[in-house]
Amino acid sequence: MMSNAATLEGKARQQTAPPQVDRRVVVEARGLGKVFTSSFTQRKKWAVKKLSLKVYEGEVFGFLGANGAGKTTTIKLMMGLLSATAGTIELFGMKPGHPATRARVGFLPENPSFYDCLNLGEFLRLSAALSGITRKREVERRVAESLFLSRLVDEENTRLRKFSKGMLQRAGLAQALINDPKLLVLDEPMSGLDPVGRKEVRDAIVRLKEEGKTVFFSSHIIPDVELVCDRVGIIKEGCLEKVGQINELVVEGAGSVEIAVKDLREEAASGLKPFVKKFGVAGEATILELEDSETTTLVLGKLAREGARVLSVTPHKESLESVFVNEVARRPGLVAEGVKNSAPRRRGRLAVLSRR
């Protein structure tokens, strides 16, 4: 049933999300909005504005946004923990707070707190009881399955107060799985975890997808989102700025290309000037930085004719990080000046911050 954890992310990354035409909509928000009013100044603030979004059955959806962007507010609206000021949100075509909806959803809140005098098994049995699972055999089956999916089988009898942060996060995940939900809603499941802990949670998300579950999770850890998500949405100041598959958001070939050459004569170099953004030197090699991949073939042809020796051609691909940084960079003061300067907007394509 399960595949080797080490290969999970690779598999997830290679998967192209199936077309959404015939897929069931699991989450649908239409013009969703939430206003908070300060009890002191009575000032109103839209934490979420006109948010419309569909999440389809079986997909892993990453909800990206900077601190204060409105991720948790959206998730609380999704879970029926807050009521909407405007618009609607439905899960499985029903209202979030409906018992039939709750039976199909597992939720990991942003900062879960636990009864730490309980051991993990006791905590999960309590969670099962609160989910309305009462038959002993069913409870034991659900506890075993949740422990397995969250890789905590050996910790069933350990008290929660002895758990590390990463183990607690996985205990929260086990709790969210106790009712065998069709949809998992996870608010920052990797936050505060070290690289190993983050990988464990990512692997768990991929396993859940393999089980046919739909996963919606918020994060601002971009590599985690890139590794496991079929689609992502970027929220900024309450507004959903972009939604799509990563390869739709990240423009193919928009990154610059670096060519390292040897034996490049001076006249040949000046003939290449119109095509080269920047010349540099690294040891004995001359480095030609091209604006984009479109001119690479042309420049390589000219280099060959001039008898220059090409040592390497390195495309600097655009990353989801650059898309994200560009979105938040448009908010003054949020991104350091240096980052803004290195992420210029270019006509007709997303600006890039090459990841080298």
Residue 70, interface with ligand ATP (CB under 6 A)? yes
Q: Which does 36 bind (CB under 5 to 8 A by kind): Mg ion, ligand ATP, none?
A: ligand ATP
* Virtual torsion, Cα 30, 36, 37, 43, nearest 10 deg: -80
* C-alpha closest to that of 91 among 115, 55, 119, 63: 55
Using CB under 6 A, which of 69, 120, 232, 320 touches ligand ATP? 69
Residue 72, interface with Mg ion (CB under 5 A)? yes
Residue 73, interface with Mg ion (CB under 5 A)? no
Using CB under 6 A, which of 65, 106, 172, 255 touches ligand ATP? 65
- The rounded distance, in Å, linking the Cα atoms of 69 and 165 is 25
For ligand ATP (CB under 6 A), the number of binding residues is: 12
Residue 189, interface with ligand ATP (CB under 6 A)? no
* C-alpha closest to that of 304 among 257, 259, 254: 259
Stretch that binds ligand ATP, among 71-79, 115-123, 148-156, 171-179 (CB under 6 A): 71-79
Stretch that binds Mg ion, among 106-114, 221-229, 264-272, 341-349 (CB under 5 A): 106-114
- The rounded distance, in Å, linking the Cα atoms of 105 and 96 is 9
Q: Shortest distance, CB of residue 121 to ligand ATP, whole angstroms?
A: 31
Question: Contact 186/215 with Cβ under 8 angstroms?
Answer: yes
Q: Which does 67 bind (CB under 5 to 8 A by kind): ligand ATP, Mg ion, none?
A: ligand ATP
Q: Shortest distance, CB of residue 68 to Mg ion, whole angstroms?
A: 8
* C-alpha closest to that of 288 among 308, 305, 222: 308
- What 8-state DSSP symbol labels residue 159? B
Question: Contact 124/131 with Cβ under 8 angstroms?
Answer: no
- The rounded distance, in Å, linking the Cα atoms of 236 and 87 is 18
Site string for ligand ATP, 24-63 (x = CB under 6 A): ------------x----------x----------------
The vertex-89 CA angle with 88 and 92, nearest 5°, equals: 135
Residue 68, interface with ligand ATP (CB under 6 A)? yes
Q: Shortest distance, CB of residue 349 to Mg ion, whole angstroms?
A: 31
Residue 71, interface with ligand ATP (CB under 6 A)? yes
- What 8-state DSSP symbol labels residue 349? B
Phi/psi for 151 (5° steps) reads 55, 45
Chain residues that interact with ligand ATP, rule: CB under 6 A: 36, 47, 65, 67-73, 110, 220
